[in-house]
Every structure is written in C-alpha cells, then in structure tokens.
Amino acid sequence: MAEAGVQAKELQDDHADVPYGLLLELKVADPEVIRELTARPDGSARQQFALAALRIGVLALKQAQGQVDVALVQNEMDRIVGRLQQQLSGHAVKVQTELATTLKEYFDPESGRFHQRVRQLLRSDGELEQVLRRQIGGEDSELAKTLLSHVGHESPLLKILNPKESDGLLSALQKSLDDELAGQRRQILEQFSLDNKQGALARLVKELQENHGELNTALQKKIQEVVKEFSLDDENSALSRLVGNVAKAQRTITSEFSLDNKQSSLARMKEELLEVLKRHDKDNQEFREEVKVALAAMAAKQAADEQSTRHGITFEEAVCEFVAHQAQQAGDIAQATGHTPGRIKNCKVGDCVIELGPDSAAAGTRFVVEAKEKAGYTLTAAREEAERARKNRGAQLCLFVYSAKTAPPQLDSFARYGHDIFVVWNPEQPSTDVFLRAGLATIRALCVRESRRREGQAADFTAIDQAILEIEKRSSKLQEIETWTANISRDAGKIWEQVRKTYEALDRQVDQLRERIADVRSAGEQTD
C-alpha cells in the first residue's frame, strides 16, 4: 500500500473549479513500478518520483486520447534496452581492451615504460645514483663541502675548541678556573694562619686559652665524684648498694631452690609432681586392668565364634556391612539376601545384591556379592558358586570375597575371571580393605561396560580395561611382597615401603576407575 499526496498549483486563471490539492491512496501491483519506487529512499524523494511519473502518464494519456498498447510499448522498450545492452557490452569490451593495452604499454615487466624508467633511475650509474653522488658522495660533494666549512680544520668552531689557540674557548675556561682556584686557596690559608688575628684558627686558640683553667677544675671535680661512687668504703656509694642487692638476691634464690625449706618453690613443685605421678600410676594401673579384661573377653568371643556354627555368618555380615557402606557412598542400593531364597528353588546362594543407582551410567544393573570363609574351598568351586549366585539373584556379575583365614594359598588377592571378580579380605586387617574397594570399583566398571554393550552405544573402555589390568597386576605384586615380608626380616624396611607404594598405586587406580565410570555416566546422560 503506497500513499501519495498530489499537490498541483493552478496554472491558469480560468480553471477556477480545480482544487488546490488532492489526496490519493494507491495500491501499486506492477513489479516494474514497484522496483523503480523502492529504488528511491522512502520519503520526499520517492513521493517526488511518483508525482513526476503520474504527471508524465497523465500527459501521455491526454495526448494519445486513448489507451496505449501495453504489449507494443513493452516490446519496443525491450528492443531499446537490448540495443542499449549490446552497445554497452561492446563499449565495455573496447574500453577493457584499450585499458589492457595501455596498462601493458606502461607496466609490462619486459617492455613497459614504467619499468624502463625505474631501471634508468635505479641502475648502476643511473640518474638517482648520479644525483646522490653529486650531493653526498665523494670529497667534492655538496655535503662534504658544507661540513668542511662548518666543522672542518679551518672552521670557526674548531678554532674556538682548539686548546692551543690563545683566544679559544678551552683556554678561556682554563684561565677562569685557575683564577678562581687561586682566590679560594688564598682565602683558606688566611683563615688558618696565626698571623691573621681575625682568622678562624686564631680565634679558636684564643678561646681555648681562656677556658682551659675552668675546664681543668670542673674535670677534676667530676673525677672525684665518680671515684667516690665506686668505693666500697662508703656504704651509700653505688657500688656498695649494688653489692648488697646482689647478695640479697642470691640469698633469696638459694632459699627458693632449697629442698630443706618446705615453703620453697622447688619443694612445693616436688610435692605436686609426686602427687601427679601417683595419680597417673593409679590411672595406668586401672587402665591396664580394663585392657586385660577387654582382651580376655575379645579372645573368648573370637574363640567362641571360631568354634560356633555362626562363624561363617559373621564374616558374611562383615562383608555385607562393608559393601553396603561403599554402595551408600556411591549412590547404589544394597540388599542383604543371604537368608532368603532366590530364583532357584530353596537356594540361598548370594549374600548381598547391589543395584546401581539412578545416577550411574548403568542404572538398574545388578551384581551379587558372595562371601566365603570355609577351609578347602578351591577356586573352581568358587567359580561354580559365583555362576550359581548370578543365576539365583538375577545379576550380571559376581564379586566373590574370600576370607584371608581360609583362602587358598595360591590365590591372588585380586583376580578376574570373565564376569566374576575374586578378592581376599580380612575384616580385622584394614590394609586389605583396598582389595575389596578395588573389587567393587572394578565390578561397577564392568557393569557399565556390559550395559553399554547391551544398549549398542559406543564408549571408550580402554582406560577401564587398563585400570582393571593394573589392579590385577598390583594385587599379584602386593601378595608377593607380603610373602617376602613374612619370610625376610632384614629387608623389612624396603619391602614395607614397596607395600606402601603398591597400596597407593591401587588406590590411584581405583580412583581412576571411578573417574572413568563418572565420565561414561556423563556421556550417557548427554546421549539421553
């Protein structure tokens, strides 16, 4: 929609019935007209162009007194535009050809006038070199002549600076300096001459002679007073008072540090220390009795547990409690199932089932924990029971925990066989907790990998596999080190240092395994 205000002035006096202005509201649909109108900026320019076009159209219609053949006009305009384009194209080709010829004539690298002129200027013995040589080159150049006239041997400047010239600058400076130094020397000698009664030295000698008598008298008096203060014959002298104070202080100190005086500080401190030692000895005796009673009770309880039928159940409860605590920290769900049958009829294999929490990368995946403290239980039997535990509890993997008291001697502290992890743990030895934590971290990583494989998602498990292999390697090394420690006492320090490093390496691998699981979990959340 385009709005145009048409204002027309009355050109003839006889057209009195024509209004002064007329407001039109037009909708332009012709593409050519729209293109020409939009080519002008919005505002007065576009309105003036539209008024001019409207006026031309009205005049053309008045002259034709009829309708114009639009198709004929369009064809004629096309023909005119085509001829104009041909002429413009030919002119453009001609201009381009002439311009290329002219540019080549001037700027061709081989025969161009510009390059020839530049070579003439820059070549050896060229015009530029000749001009520079005339101005600044050689001894007869303009620059050399100018410098010679201003700073040469015969120049006024060097004549003034020449020390041999009697009227030169240096000679004048030297003469002025010598005169000033001579004057200063005369003044100083006059002040230190005794012949000059007004000189500084003469006045100093006079004052010393006048005050010498009073100074000797005052000095002699001061010396007598000082000697009197340091005499022991006078009880009120400073030295006598000092000796008395020192003797009094010595008697006081001797009295305070004498055990013969019951009121002395040393005697009171001795009595307090004896009281403290008596109370401490009494407390130690009571504590030793309590420790003996507690140790006896613990030994009796341990012996009763080892002989009772609940000995294995106690180990299972310790394993389940440890696993439940670790699961709670990781956000997983632990359930003790050792007393309830599972999928297999009347089968209670599988002491604890862990379900990975909702924040895990393999949320909902289950693995079973089987604890065993039974002598003579071989690895083959343990693998069979681990497989039965997985089936009975509907879990994908199994963590089999051997008791350090009943584990086969050839079994490593940490080992993996397919979907099962086997560790050796002693609840009474905290240093073996690292194997159980490593087993839990490894089996969680395997759960993530199995879950990813089932879902068909791509994930990088290289770091997880390397961590598991490193844990197995370190566990085997740690078991060897423990054997060396038990058999070799002379190298105990070095071996225990290796044990400490291995424990730290295991902890680092477990932490790395957890970080990789967290990365996989984050990648799974982003994919979801």
Q: Return the pLDDT at 400.
A: 94
H helices of 331-376, in order, are: none
How far is residue 475's CA from residue 407's CA, in Å, rounded to a whole number?
15
How far is residue 420's CA from residue 256's CA, in Å, rounded to a whole number?
78
* 200: CB partners within 8 A, 6+ apart: 191, 192
DSSP-derived letter for residue 41 is P
List the chain residues with pLDDT less than 70.
1-18, 63-73, 135, 137-140, 148, 150-170, 212-216, 218-219, 230, 257-259, 266, 298-299, 301-313, 454-493, 495-496, 520-528
Q: Return the pLDDT at 4.
A: 37
Q: Return the pLDDT at 301.
A: 65
Beta bridge mates, 24? 4
Q: Return the pLDDT at 312.
A: 46
DSSP reduced 3-state for 356: coil
φ, ψ for residue 356 (rounded to 5)?
-65, 135
On whether the CB atoms of residues 127 and 135 are closer than 8 A, the answer is: no
Please report the beta strands in 373-418, taking only residues with DSSP state E, as ranges in sequence order. 397-403, 414-417
In angstroms, what CA-CA distances link 62 with 10, 59, 278, 402? Answer: 18, 5, 138, 115
How far is residue 335's CA from residue 343's CA, in Å, rounded to a whole number?
15
In angstroms, what CA-CA distances link 216 with 169, 203, 206, 213? Answer: 60, 20, 17, 5
Q: Return the pLDDT at 14.
A: 45
How far is residue 471's CA from residue 481's CA, in Å, rounded to a whole number?
15
How far is residue 464's CA from residue 381's CA, in Å, rounded to a whole number?
28
- Give which of 422, 463, 427 is closest to 443, Cα–Cα: 422
Question: What single-letter amino acid sits at 270?
Answer: K
Q: Return the pLDDT at 483.
A: 66
Tokens of 132: 């520079």
DSSP reduced 3-state for 5: strand
pTM value is 0.36
Please report which helix (H) or strand (E) contains residue 189, including its range.
Answer: helix 169-191
Q: Quick one: how far is CA 420 from the chain centroid?
A: 42
On whether the CB atoms of residues 390 and 368 are closer than 8 A, the answer is: yes
Half-sphere exposure of 125 toward its Cβ, with a 13 Å CA cutoff? Answer: 0
Q: Return the pLDDT at 271.
A: 80
Q: Return the pLDDT at 273.
A: 76
